[in-house]
């Protein structure tokens, strides 16, 4: 395996020259494919242009953009010169972008649009080191004048690409020599955490951190040369970014889309990818969209759908028993699972095949029809959503990781995916579970399989540290190299990982009961009426919840039940509607469903507006609890008054 990322891409340009590396839409919405040979040439060209405008080894270059073809070219071009990129998404606020550019000492900045660039111009005095900016989408004379007034030189990315074409013949050998000088332990990127717990921290990831995963990933994923991935997540996140690297490592290509149904679904029909990744909310949105469509259709179609989804769920359960796919925390014999499951498995097989013809295949066809595997990461996949995809025979493999581990630590096996866990630990890492109190280690001795505690990870993929914060680095990485992930979980007997929550998300009620909110929130969100939920109750007598209703479902319910209202906000305050939601929650959170009495939700507040990325949600669409508490302080106070 080459010692750095640009050299790895060069290897693919040599051994897989004509295979598709990228696919991006033109002005007409048609995907244009680019081979590894073409993309590598583009990387040399942009690196030559970057070098000409002054980018050199150890420079920091900000990239403020969503996923697009040019992002990878810029990333690889920067890395080819031994420089380091500092990425962020378009949903970031101006003060956040300026803080990151200033703190990481970026001297160059690449921006997707003039609007993103203007965010830094608002208070340009906060980023004194950045004197050069590059825009992916071009700019007008007004923007250029604004930049000139504050002594920032502005370049158009496409113009730099054209200049790179002119430089290619003369500079190719020099750029490749620069690539050879990039060491494995040199910084590849500084990724600032999304700030779900406060001020973002700069995670320093080296080429070694990524290469460690890439050289063993073929053991976990069955990707064929020439396969295509659909990229829909923010590429500045380590999860999606690692996909880019995994794709070209495994000689497969990436098509760029957006996580919006109206864009993504047609793109899937056009590309017909074999692979894709998504955060849990994406898979939940797709599944709930299917259920809403079926309910709207009604009649015999709905009855058939419900029947075969039930059949599929039972079939997948017994299939997993027969094939040894049930997780275990003790060394019990799997032969007993086989004996228990084989007869129901055989009896359900014909019905499952009929269901595939009538129902499952049509659902999978909306996702392009050729997907062999998909990965869910960046958060916990709700059990009911997991079961739905299992029922229709869609291989959704849940994985786990954190930015500080670059990021993947485990993923379900493609050949033997086991529901109820986040898969096998990658061969590039080792993990253990230890005793903790409030997220702090009280005993570093590994716990036995099935015992819950704090997850620690170690290996070549663990970050170099937090940029300019050795104090924070020392808090999470001990002298033996173990990283405190901050996640609670267990290991199975087969060394798989099961996540149970976040150590610092634990709610402690006034009576001393410890509540892990994630499982409760996941159960509540199984309701068709609920889009989002946040549990509250720290130091209170009971739990309360902020609920974001599924707006279209709630409006339809009001119409069907003759509930009159003038404004949607008024509907959310209607006592009949509040009673409906209380009953929905009680149907999910009950002793019969395995929840303790202290885990029941006794009060709720409906919020009329959906949560937004950058406001209540991080870029990975995780709830930023500290921001929710701040934004809805008045509503929270009313819950417990």
- Among 76-85, 268-277, 517-526, the least confident range: 517-526
Is there a single domain that holds both residue 510 and residue 498? Answer: no
Residue 234, in any domain of the structure: yes
- Among 37-41, 182-186, 236-240, 544-548, the least confident range: 236-240
Residue 467, in any domain of the structure: no
The CATH number of whichever domain residue 498 belongs to comes to 2.30.38.10
Confidence band, pLDDT 50/70/90 cuts, at residue 387: very high
Residue 484, in any domain of the structure: yes
Angle at 125 between CA 124 and CA 129, to 5 degrees: 85
* Cα 641 to the center of its chain, rounded Å: 37
Euclidean distance between CA atoms 570 and 608, whole angstroms: 9
Is there a single domain that holds both residue 106 and residue 192? Answer: yes
Q: Is the pLDDT of residue 577 over 80?
A: yes
Cβ proximity of 601 and 590 under 8 Å: no
Q: What spatial distance separates the first Cα and last Cα of the chain, rounded to whole Å?
A: 61
Confidence band, pLDDT 50/70/90 cuts, at residue 157: very high
Residue 26 confidence (pLDDT): 95
Residue 264, in any domain of the structure: no
Is there a single domain that holds both residue 518 and residue 486? Answer: no
Whether the bond into 407 is cis, omega within 30 of 0:
yes
Q: Is the pLDDT of residue 203 over 70?
A: yes
Is there a single domain that holds both residue 247 and residue 286? Answer: no
Euclidean distance between CA atoms 289 and 261, whole angstroms: 9
* Residue-wise DSSP of 329-390: SS---HHHHHHHHHHHHHHHHHHHHHHIIIIIHHHHHTTTS---EEEE-SSPPPHHHHHHHH
Based on its alpha-carbon atoms, the radius of gyration of the chain, rounded to whole angstroms, reads: 25
Q: At what angle do helices 114-121 and 141-149 cross, to 10 degrees?
A: 20
pLDDT (average), residues 142-155: 95
Residue 194 confidence (pLDDT): 59
| Strands, sheet with 429-437, edge to edge from the N-terminal-most edge strand | 440-443, 429-437, 453-459, 483-491, 497-502
Q: Which range marks the domain in which residue 615 is found?
A: 506-640
Is there a single domain that holds both residue 439 and residue 558? Answer: no
Is there a single domain that holds both residue 607 and residue 591? Answer: yes
Is there a single domain that holds both residue 413 and residue 530? Answer: no
Cβ neighbors of 573 (< 8 A, separation 6 or more) are 606
Is there a single domain that holds both residue 539 and residue 617? Answer: yes
The CATH number of whichever domain residue 241 belongs to comes to 3.40.50.12780
Is there a single domain that holds both residue 446 and residue 316? Answer: yes
Strand-strand pairing, 408-411 and 132-135? unpaired
Confidence band, pLDDT 50/70/90 cuts, at residue 624: confident
Q: Is 336 exposed, middle or buried (0-12, 13-18, 19+ CB in 10 A)?
A: exposed
Residue 251, in any domain of the structure: yes
Is there a single domain that holds both residue 525 and residue 479? Answer: no
* pTM of the predicted model as reported, rounded to 2 decimal places: 0.86
Percent of the chain clearing pLDDT 70 (strictly above): 99
250-302 pLDDT per residue, tens: 999 999 999 888 999 999 999 999 999 998 889 989 999 999 999 999 999 99
Q: Is 472 exposed, middle or buried (0-12, 13-18, 19+ CB in 10 A)?
A: middle
HEC secondary structure over 153-193: EEEEHHHHHHHHHHHHHHHHHHHHHHHHHCCCCCEEEEEEC
Q: Is the pLDDT of residue 490 over 70?
A: yes
Is there a single domain that holds both residue 150 and residue 134? Answer: yes
Mean of the per-residue pLDDT values of the chain: 94
Q: Is the pLDDT of residue 33 over 80?
A: yes
Helix or strand (DSSP H, E) at 243 = helix 238-249
pLDDT (average), residues 611-637: 88
Residue 388, in any domain of the structure: yes
Q: Mean pLDDT: which of 49-58, 142-151, 322-331, 440-449 is highest?
A: 49-58
83-105 pLDDT per residue, tens: 999 999 998 889 989 999 999 99
Residue 268, in any domain of the structure: no
**Long-range interactions of 153-159: CB distance < 8 A, separation 24+:** 153/53, 155/53, 157/46, 157/70, 157/74, 157/110
pLDDT (average), residues 477-488: 96
Is there a single domain that holds both residue 234 and residue 93? Answer: yes
Residue 197 confidence (pLDDT): 47
Give me the number of domains the chain comprises: 3
174-201 pLDDT per residue, tens: 999 999 999 999 999 999 985 444 578 9
Confidence band, pLDDT 50/70/90 cuts, at residue 332: confident
Name the DSSP class of 12. Answer: H
Higher pLDDT, 333 or 186: 186
pLDDT (average), residues 376-384: 86
Euclidean distance between CA atoms 529 and 517, whole angstroms: 19
Residue 198 confidence (pLDDT): 55
| Strands, sheet with 543-549, edge to edge from the N-terminal-most edge strand | 530-536, 543-549, 601-606
Residue 631, in any domain of the structure: yes
């Amino acid at each position: 395996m080459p010692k750095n990322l640009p050299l790895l891409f060069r290897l693919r340009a040599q051994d897989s020259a004509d295979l598709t590396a990228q696919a991006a839409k033109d002005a007409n919405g048609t995907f244009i494919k680019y081979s590894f040979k073409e993309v590598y040439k583009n990387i040399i060209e942009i690196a030559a242009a970057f070098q000409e405008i002054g980018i050199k080894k150890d420079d920091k270059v900000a990239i403020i953009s969503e996923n697009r073809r040019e992002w990878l070219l810029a990333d690889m071009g920067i890395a080819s010169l031994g420089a380091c990129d500092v990425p962020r998404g378009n949903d970031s606020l101006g003060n956040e972008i300026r803080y990151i550019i200033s703190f990481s000492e970026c001297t160059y900045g690449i921006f997707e649009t003039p609007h993103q660039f203007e965010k830094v111009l608002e208070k340009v005095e906060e980023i004194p080191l950045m004197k050069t900016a590059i825009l992916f989408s071009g700019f007008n004379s007004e923007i250029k004048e604004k930049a000139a007034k504050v002594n920032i030189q502005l370049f158009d990315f496409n113009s730099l690409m054209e200049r790179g074409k002119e430089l290619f013949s003369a500079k190719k050998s020099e750029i490749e020599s620069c690539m050879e000088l990039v060491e494995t332990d040199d910084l590849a990127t500084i990724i600032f955490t999304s700030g779900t717990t406060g001020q973002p921290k700069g995670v320093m990831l080296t080429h070694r951190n990524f290469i460690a995963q890439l050289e063993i990933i073929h053991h976990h994923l069955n990707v064929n040369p020439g396969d295509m991935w659909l990229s829909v997540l923010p590429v500045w996140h380590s999860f999606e970014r690692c996909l880019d690297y995994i794709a070209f490592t495994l000689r497969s290509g990436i098509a760029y889309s957006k996580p919006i149904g109206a864009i993504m679904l047609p793109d899937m029909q056009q590309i017909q990818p074999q692979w894709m990744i998504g955060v849990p909310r994406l898979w939940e949105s797709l599944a709930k969209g299917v259920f809403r469509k079926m309910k709207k259709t009604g009649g015999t179609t709905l009855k058939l759908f419900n029947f075969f989804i039930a059949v599929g769920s039972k079939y997948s359960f017994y299939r997993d028993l027969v094939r040894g796919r049930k997780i275990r925390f003790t060394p019990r014999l799997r032969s007993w699972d086989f004996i228990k499951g084989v007869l129901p498995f055989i009896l359900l097989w014909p019905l499952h095949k009929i269901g595939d013809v009538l129902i499952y295949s049509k659902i999978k066809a909306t996702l392009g029809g050729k997907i062999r595997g998909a990965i869910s990461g960046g958060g916990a996949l709700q059990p009911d959503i997991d079961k739905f995809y299992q029922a229709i025979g869609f291989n959704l493999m849940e994985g786990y990781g954190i930015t500080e581990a670059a990021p993947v630590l485990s993923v379900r096996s493609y050949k033997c995916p086991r529901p109820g866990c986040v898969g096998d630990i990658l061969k590039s890492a080792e993990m253990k579970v230890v005793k903790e109190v409030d997220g702090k280690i009280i005993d570093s001795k590994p716990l036995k399989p099935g015992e819950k505690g704090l997850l620690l990870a170690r290996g070549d993929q663990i970050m170099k540290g937090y940029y300019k914060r050795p104090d924070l680095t020392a808090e999470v990485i001990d002298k033996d190299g173990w990283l405190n992930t901050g996640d609670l979980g267990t290991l199975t007997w087969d060394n798989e990982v099961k996540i149970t929550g976040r150590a610092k998300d634990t709610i402690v009620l006034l009576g001393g009961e410890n509540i892990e909110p994630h499982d409760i929130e996941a159960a509540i969100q199984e309701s068709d009426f609920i889009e989002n939920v946040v549990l509250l109750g720290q130091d209170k007598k009971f739990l309360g919840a902020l609920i974001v209703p599924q707006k279209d479902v709630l409006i339809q319910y009001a119409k069907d039940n003759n509930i009159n209202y003038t404004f949607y906000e008024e509907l959310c305050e209607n006592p009949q509607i509040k009673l409906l939601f209380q009953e929905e929650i009680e149907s999910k959170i009950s002793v019969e469903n395995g929840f303790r009495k202290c885990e029941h939700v006794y009060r709720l507040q409906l919020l009329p507006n959906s949560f937004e990325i950058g406001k209540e949600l991080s870029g990975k669409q995780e709830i930023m609890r500290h921001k929710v508490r701040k934004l809805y302080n008045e509503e929270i106070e009313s819950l417990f008054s």
